[in-house]
Amino acid sequence: MRILIQIRPVPDVTSAVIHDPEKQTAADVAGDLPGVELDESYPPVALPKPVPKADDGDPLSMHQAMTFSLEPDSASVLVRGEIADDDVASRRARLSASNPDIVGIFSDPVIETMPVCPGDGPSGTWQDVGDRLKVPELLAHGMDGAGVPIAVVDTGINADHLVTAGAEIAVDAARSWTPASASHTPGRFDVGHGTMCAFAAGIAAPQAALLDIALLRTRRRARNRMEALTSDGIVAFAYLRTILESMEQDHKALVVSSNSWGSYDPAWDFPVGDPANYSDNLSHPFNIVVGALESAGADILFAAGNCGRPCPSGKCVYSERTIVGANSHPDVLSIGGVDIQDERVGYSSQGPGRLDRHKPDICAYTHFLGSEVYGPGSADSGTSTACPVAAGVLAAIRSRFPCGTISPEAMREMVRGAANDVTGRGFTDDYGHGIVSVPGLLEKLGVQGLI
């Protein structure tokens, strides 16, 4: 079984991982761990320490406002390895007891893209979506995403196809990230899921810069789909934090992450209640790095998933509460899907979420004719499309309202409060707070006379 091992070495070793990670190996950090086959291809990753913001906060709870420390004397380090599949519980216990530097052992479940069940053709076009989002008005007033990087964390982008499909948005190859195991260069991947997401992000923010974060190229192609592990996501999010910190202070914190993937099967995880669990555990390392990136200034969006009760993907195994792990993180916007008639698409996952009960946060548009990455006339579909549509809206807004003036937390509250409540019942498990509304959001921001 593949596991993540959290280690707290001496501060000098942690400092080396923080400041010069490419020169460190798993063995440098963990030494010899009997019974564990360390994955030397996986770079050690520094894990920030979550600390309650309030002086009287509960140091043992993650269910409160947190800050994250990467100081060498408080951070820890993650390495990846495998243990034998027999008697896993006993092996984990003995491993923890064998080395006082080990402070945690966690699951490393598979994550993958979110295809939907086959069915109806596209409903409307991407231009219709642009009209619903008031894109012409946004562009006329300089809200076009200029200066805002959108990190498309997915299977990789094909820039040529974006141009062919009519998109203006460009890939910033210099600040993109390609896994060591992938042979392609940023913007030159095969046409597919990542290109569809990039196209959707560009509808509302054509002047944003796409960061091609090809996470799902990390591991393998399996049964005609792309997979990775949450441990790969930790590396990608650690990289995004370096991008954020490299920005000039006055323009810092403008990264918008679009994550159209998730975990479908509890068999890939440790059981709920187990300290090593991912799906329901805010203390899992991946959920910590998500919170740390948001705390550093990133707006983070995750697709809610395609396990809606009327038409779930055939891969959905969770029988209830299908918005799992980071897709339901309290510090992200979880995005469901509606068509251009404002009807929730049947496959869009409903709440409650597992980490935060009030998920999805909002819905955005999907199932329209757009990139046609899956052939002429095919729909851009799933919450995989709705998520980058919403990310593009935030990037457009951020081009006038950077994170230095409105924090990601405050922006999430505005997005929720501005949503079009089509049910008239406030928050619901189907629509969240409603459908993304540009006019409502601008009103919240105090922009007058635009729309």
Q: What is the pLDDT of residues 387-404, one digit of tens each?
A: 999 999 999 999 999 988
Q: What is the pLDDT of residue 116?
A: 66
- Beta-strand relationship, 2-7 and 225-229: unpaired
Residue pLDDT, tens place only, 274-303 = 999 999 999 999 999 999 999 999 999 999
Q: What is the pLDDT of residue 154?
A: 94
Q: Closest by alpha carbon to 337, among 406, 440, 435? A: 435
Rounded to whole angstroms, how far apart are CA atoms 61 and 71? Answer: 20
Q: How many CB atoms neighbour CB 296 within 10 A? A: 20
Q: What is the pLDDT of residue 226?
A: 60
Token look-up 């562009």 returns 139
Strand boundaries in 101-214, DSSP class E:
102-107, 110-113, 149-153, 170-171, 209-213
Provide the 8-state DSSP code for 43: P
From residue 326, how far is each of 207, 353, 381 by CA, in Å?
A: 28, 10, 21
3-state secondary structure of 301: strand
Q: Per this entry, what is the length of the chain?
A: 451
Q: What is the pLDDT of residue 360?
A: 98
Active site positions, annotated: 154, 193, 384
- Positive or negative, the Cα torsion across 225, 230, 231, 237? positive
Instruction: Judge whether 9 and 77 are in contact, CB under 8 Å.
Output: yes
Q: What is the pLDDT of residue 220?
A: 57
Backbone phi and psi for residue 46, each to the nearest 5 degrees, phi listed first:
-75, 135
**pTM of the predicted protein model:** 0.93
What tokens does 189 get? 């991947």
Q: What is the pLDDT of residue 343?
A: 95
Q: What is the pLDDT of residue 117?
A: 62
Low-confidence ranges of the chain (pLDDT < 50): 224
Token look-up 């079984």 returns 1
Rounded to whole angstroms, how far apart are CA atoms 388 and 393? Answer: 9
Q: What is the pLDDT of residue 252?
A: 59
Q: What residues does 282 pair with on adjacent strands?
A: none
Q: What is the pLDDT of residue 198?
A: 97
Rounded to whole angstroms, how far apart are CA atoms 399 and 189? Answer: 28
Q: What is the pLDDT of residue 181?
A: 76
